[in-house]
Amino acid sequence: MIRILAACLGIAAGMAQGQTLDFPSNASLQEEVIRPADSYLLPLGIWDQGAMPAQTVEGRVIQQAWRIAAPSLTTLQLVRPLREQLRNDRYQIIFECQTEACGGFDFRFAVETLPPPDMRINIGDFRFLAAERVGQDGPEYLTLFISRTAEAGFVQITHVGPESDTALPIAQAESAPLRAFGAVPDAALSEQLDQAGRAVLADLSFETGSAQLAQGDYPSLRALADYLAKTPSRTVALVGHTDSSGALETNIALSKRRAASVLERLVSDYGADRARLEAEGMGYLAPLASNLTEAGRTANRRVEVIVTSTQE
């Protein structure tokens, strides 16, 4: 696990708590920059009309670039457990965006980042998150810039906190390696369907607490629509899955509604034939990973596509 430990903050008089983020052991530190007393331009909104809302914050600035050696990861798989951990450590998420919704090219180059090859940012697929919390020594800020290539995921952490001569180490890599659950590394969706008869649509993003598929272009849905167009004898089922939080009946209903939302998007945006699609929900009955860890719960919240008939 990579534990990112910020300067201790007081919970009550005489008590302190370190902030921790858990990353996998197949993440390696590529670059670290420490500025004991400096300023950082903290992004607070999207790039719009030639400008990006931002605030200058001051303190001890630490920036690290981490590479996670695993193909087929999505930026959502990378950011979701980190976001939850920050919230658990009393951080408030003050700004979050994804790719074009951030402002695309302009936003990416308006944000301070470490240079490649240590930190690689795919202009067409990145996420940004800014968070803040206040302790007895004052405010501290943390941002995540997350992107991926075909071979690996990349995470840049920028932390700004009180100046201290006894600051704890920022990161360690100790936990189990992270892989793209349910995906064959480097295998196209069509190959997975032909060889295994199923595939996880790993790039889907649902609005928080909702069954509605978030707006955006999804390469997995485009690939599935193309696959169906090239194999007119086949039908498929979209099957939603959840983690184990909550009642089974509630989760089955939620997972089916999410699958139905994906079906509607396939038809409306990608031209798939509705007659060859069905939507079902399994709730938490078919996990891919342990529900005892956040990474496992993230992997279990998914929509799969399953070949149901070849009509051959």
* pLDDT tens column, 261-304: 999 999 999 999 999 999 999 999 988 777 887 777 887 888 99
pLDDT band for position 2 (cuts 50, 70, 90): very low
Look at residues 146, 161, 176 and tell me which one is the last residue of a structural domain.
161
Domain check: are 50 and 93 in the same one? yes
Q: Is 113 within the bounds of a domain?
A: yes
Domain check: are 215 and 145 in the same one? no
- The pLDDT, as a whole number, for residue 160 is 93
**In total, how many domains does the chain have?**
2
Q: Are 189 and 294 in contact (CB under 8 A)?
A: no
Domain check: are 64 and 24 in the same one? yes
Domain check: are 121 and 36 in the same one? yes
Domain check: are 45 and 150 in the same one? yes
Domain check: are 193 and 149 in the same one? no
CA angle, residues 28, 30, 32, in degrees to nearest 5: 115
Domain check: are 149 and 200 in the same one? no
- The pLDDT, as a whole number, for residue 209 is 63
Better-scored residue on pLDDT, 100 or 232: 232
User: How many angstroms separate the CA atoms of 95 and 99, rounded?
Assistant: 14
Which helix (H) or strand (E) element contains residue 298? helix 294-300
The three-state secondary structure class of 177 is: coil
Domain check: are 140 and 252 in the same one? no
Q: Is 129 within the bounds of a domain?
A: yes
The set of residues, in sequence order, having a beta carbon less than 8 Å from that of 311 and lying 6+ positions away, is: 233, 234, 235
Spell out where 3-114 has E strands.
9-10, 16-17, 27-43, 54-68, 92-98
User: How many angstroms separate the CA atoms of 214 and 219, rounded?
Assistant: 14
Handedness of CA 281, 287, 288, 289 (dihedral sign): positive
Look at residues 143, 161, 179 and tell me which one is the last residue of a structural domain.
161
Domain check: are 238 and 299 in the same one? yes
In this structure, what CATH number is given to the domain that contains residue 240?
3.30.1330.60
pLDDT at 54 over 70: yes
Q: Is 2 within the bounds of a domain?
A: no
Structural domain that includes position 42: 9-161
User: How many angstroms separate the CA atoms of 179 and 49, rounded?
Assistant: 39
Domain check: are 305 and 220 in the same one? yes
Query: For 66-97, how does the pLDDT look when each residue is reduced to its tens digit (9 = 90+)?
Result: 999 887 677 888 888 888 888 888 999 999 99
| Local structure of residue 51 (DSSP, 8 states) | B
- The pLDDT, as a whole number, for residue 253 is 94
Handedness of CA 121, 123, 124, 128 (dihedral sign): positive
Integer Rg of the chain from CA = 21
Q: Which value, to the nearest 10 degrees, does the dihedral of the CA atoms of residues 294, 296, 300, 302 take?
A: 70
pLDDT at 182 over 60: no
Q: Is 155 within the bounds of a domain?
A: yes
Q: Is 168 within the bounds of a domain?
A: no
Give the position of tokens 């009955």: 285
pLDDT at 6 over 50: no
Domain check: are 93 and 225 in the same one? no
Domain check: are 140 and 234 in the same one? no
Query: For 184-223, how does the pLDDT look when each residue is reduced to its tens digit (9 = 90+)?
Result: 443 578 877 887 788 888 888 876 567 988 888 888 899 9
Burial 192-230 (b: 16+ CB within 10 A, else e): bbeeeeebbbbbbbbeeeebebbeeebebbebbbebbee
Written as one letter, the residue type at 282 is M
pLDDT at 115 over 70: yes
| Local structure of residue 289 (DSSP, 8 states) | S
Look at residues 111, 142, 161 and tell me which one is the last residue of a structural domain.
161
Q: Are 158 and 143 in contact (CB under 8 A)?
A: yes
Give the position of tokens 């858990």: 22
Q: Is 3 within the bounds of a domain?
A: no
